[in-house]
Structure 1
Amino acid sequence: MKKLTLMAVAVLALSGVLHLASVQLDRAGGATDGNTFYFYNWGDYIDPELLEKFEEETGYRVVYETFDSNEAMYTKVQQGGTAYDLVIPSEYMIDRMIQEDMLMELDHSRIEGMDNLVKDFLDQPFDPGNRYSIPYFWGTLGIVYNETLIDGESLDSWDDLWSPALKESVMLIDGAREVMGLSLQSLGYSLNSTNDQALQEAADKLDGLVPSVKAIVADEIKTYMIQEEASVAVTFSGEAADMMWENEKLHYVLPEEGSNLWFDNMVIPKTAQNPDAAYAFINFMLEPENAAQNADYIGYSTPNEAAMELLPEETISDEQFYPSEETMDRLEVYENLGPEYLGIYNDLFLEFKIQRN
């Protein structure tokens, strides 16, 4: 997996500022041309060389902006002040955006390379027939641990996080669905439960996890684990891959009770000003060479079966990141629970965070 040096990070950061400035200038001028492609993506979620390659091959100028949560992305797209041509939401948010008529229905006659995708990752319940979205990356939520810092503790299940031996040792990702979900699954419930009693049981169980929690953070988890400032973390598979690349003492496991299987897909908002560029980019990313390069750089699992043939054997045979069929059967995709239960999940998670602080 390709890694960034500090100097490269600084250059990319400056580049991002310049791109943002150009976006603001374009908008201030009130006009854009057909050669500009506005792309809204998660942070550090594409190889920058691919953006340059896309510009060179197509003639489009890429203006790239990033977000750090589905909710932040949703709010900005909904407000309509920015005419993004392509966005990368997760499955439950795609469902919501479809229901709220925020996405263009795709013209599949303009898409090349759908046959390269793993069939099991198509026609998902959040977008039957892939009428609105095309897979970009997929992955899991699991536990990463430092073998030298856990004193022989077993970490095979969510329940293990409650071990007294892990006092002030566990880093949790700052997400209501993730934290409530792991507690629900530890009790044998679905991470999409809308059973009020089950949700309260999960919240009550989280109370007992407070002594184990070192911090509830986002991207900082990676630094903590690499620098051995924490021994255990709940994180996403691609983040775990990054950590393991930097520190060979780290390992990633999928809990035996099950976990989250997530998908991030490419969509075209209805407010897009240049759908032609969006289709060009979708086709570009469906090319096996480009998908393989992106997966190798980012560390997340590619849904592109043809691209998998171009990746190292040790990558695609690693069941931490390309799980067996048996393991996949225990994974659940987040569902759009609707505003009422999303609010309940958020409220219960907030109560847990307040206890931790």
Structure 2
Amino acid sequence: MSENRDSVARETVAFMRSSLSRRRILQAAGIGGVAAVAAACGASGDTGSATASTAAAAPDLSDSEKTLQWSNWPGYMDTNDKTGTRPSLDAFIKQSGVNVTYTEDINDNNEFYAKVRTQLEQGQPIDRDIVVLTDWMAALWIESGFVQQLDKSVMPNASSNVIDKLQNVAFDPGRQYSLPWQSGFGLFGWNKSKLKELIGTDTMTSVDQLFNPKLKGRVTVLSEMRDTMGIIMAWQGNDPSNFTEAQFMQAIDALRTQIDNGQIRSVEGNSYMSDMESGNVVAVIGWSGDVIQLGKNFGIALPETGGTLWTDNMMIPALAAHKKNAELIMNYYYDPEVAAQVSAYVQYISPVKGAQEAMKKVDPSLVDNEWIFPTSQTLERTYVFMTLTAEQDVKYQREFQKAIGN
């Protein structure tokens, strides 16, 4: 990897490599979301140098209203598959007396921002006490004054149990406004038996295999630009953490070719999981926890030329009415045993100190799981996508959307 990568990339990779310990982004909204807005209002898109603006605060009703509203991505909480209940969340409700309305309504960073942007800009509440957004979007919210500063005095776990190198990221020094929820990889997923049937092997290691003509019409890639383009750029020998416009366009050309010739069946977000289960899709560029949750009949691997790495973050929006309740549940999920319980289900990387040790009690078979507690060797094979200026984001999103037919 290049030594000349932006600061947020360096810090995120440094955190992962030192810790040895879903986010799910569907970028279908194109340039109509955050990038266009950021460009229009002159906001910097550089998550490496975000400066927080003061957020509006409403009277905190936590003491009189034992409730909170939490917006998160689908499949990002431990769940009893038979009953549909959420064990760790139910335990918090019973323990604290705070009723939690948990909604899986974040399917895309841009899409979610577009839904609440007008309210945020007009200084109106968005009727949510916690939102979970990816680093680059979290940076924009912090910089724009859309999130409230955390009161660490009521969050002892959160103050002491954040993985060391993730405590002081460039877009939120000292974690004054955000806390990591989970981290994960952009990589390959595939149906083992169908892959072997079509190309003679049940293992996928290269983008060349993904684009094997024998898989024509059975391949899906992510609608999240950063993961799909990052993996293609790395395959072409370029650095997704530090690239030129020409290198980005080289990857766009490769993507457009594979779409136009029918190799790539679709460019999707969440729906790729159901397509894999049905057998319509054999191989994907997907997200680590998603593919693992599909079960043992599906394979997962980082491309030999490198995958992507990201983090999603909990934040309390401006004018949230139950700030203290939100801080209490954020603190609860930074208990290592609770964090291990969540990781055992979602199969993403935990940012909580002690979660790996706690996993010995929760599920000993996962203590050395490479996808939850990756080694430094694994992390050396990943990239954090280069931080883009607002202007770059607009331009690159436009090119990506054109390539995928939007």
- The TM-score, its normalising length taken from structure 2, stands at 0.73
1:22-33 map, 5 Å? none
Q: Is 1:332–2:383 an aligned residue pair?
A: yes
State the Cα deviation string for residues 241-297 of structure 1 (Å, max 9, x = none): 111x2xx33110011222211111211112211211111011111112221222222
* Secondary structure of the structure 2 residue equivalent to 1:266: strand
After TM superposition, give the deviation of residue 196 of structure 1 in Å.
1.8
Amino acid at match of 1:242: Q
CA distance in 2, matches of 1:214, 1:45: 26
Q: 1:187 to 1:126 in 2, by over 3 A?
A: farther
CA distance in 1, matches of 2:180, 2:366: 19
Which stretch has the larger CA shift, 279-288 or 165-174?
Answer: 165-174
Q: Is 1:286–2:334 an aligned residue pair?
A: yes
Q: 1:185 to 1:126 in 2, by over 3 A?
A: farther
Residue in 1 aligned with 2:39? none
Q: Is 1:234–2:280 an aligned residue pair?
A: no
1:1-357 map, 5 Å? 34-47=65-78, 48-65=86-103, 66-80=105-119, 81-114=125-158, 115-150=160-195, 151-153=199-201, 155-193=204-242, 195-210=244-259, 211-243=262-294, 245=295, 248-311=296-359, 312-354=363-405
State the Cα deviation string for residues 207-262 of structure 1 (Å, max 9, x = none): 2322321222222211222233222111101101111x2xx331100112222111
* Conservation of the 8 A alpha-carbon contact between 2:256 and 2:404: no
Gaps of 5+ in 2: 1-60, 79-85, 120-124
State the Cα deviation string for residues 142-166 of structure 1 (Å, max 9, x = none): 0012232222356213343222232
Q: 1:241 to 1:278 in 2, by over 3 A?
A: same
After TM superposition, give the deviation of residue 340 of structure 1 in Å.
1.6
Amino acid at match of 2:373: Y
Q: 1:44 to 1:318 in 2, by over 3 A?
A: closer
Amino acid at match of 2:384: V
Amino acid at match of 1:257: T
RMSD: 2.3
After TM superposition, give the deviation of residue 173 of structure 1 in Å.
1.8
CA distance in 2, matches of 1:97, 1:148: 44
CA distance in 1, matches of 2:365, 2:374: 13
CA distance in 1, matches of 2:236, 2:245: 14
Residue in 2 aligned with 1:27? none
Aligned residue pairs total: 322
Amino acid at match of 1:112: P
Gaps of 5+ in 1: 1-30
After TM superposition, give the deviation of residue 124 of structure 1 in Å.
2.6
Amino acid at match of 1:156: T
After TM superposition, give the deviation of residue 194 of structure 1 in Å.
5.9
* Conservation of the 8 A alpha-carbon contact between 2:343 and 2:372: no
CA distance in 2, matches of 1:95, 1:236: 22
Q: 1:79 to 1:56 in 2, by over 3 A?
A: farther
State the Cα deviation string for residues 16-60 of structure 1 (Å, max 9, x = none): xxxxxxxxxxxxxxx995322121111232232333222222222
* Conservation of the 8 A alpha-carbon contact between 1:143 and 1:252: yes
- The TM-score, its normalising length taken from structure 1, stands at 0.82
Q: 1:192 to 1:74 in 2, by over 3 A?
A: farther
CA distance in 1, matches of 2:114, 2:404: 23
Q: 1:133 to 1:335 in 2, by over 3 A?
A: farther
CA distance in 2, matches of 1:350, 1:279: 38
Which stretch has the larger CA shift, 332-341 or 343-352?
Answer: 332-341
Q: 1:220 to 1:42 in 2, by over 3 A?
A: same
CA distance in 1, matches of 2:130, 2:282: 38
Q: 1:222 to 1:206 in 2, by over 3 A?
A: same
CA distance in 2, matches of 1:351, 1:78: 24
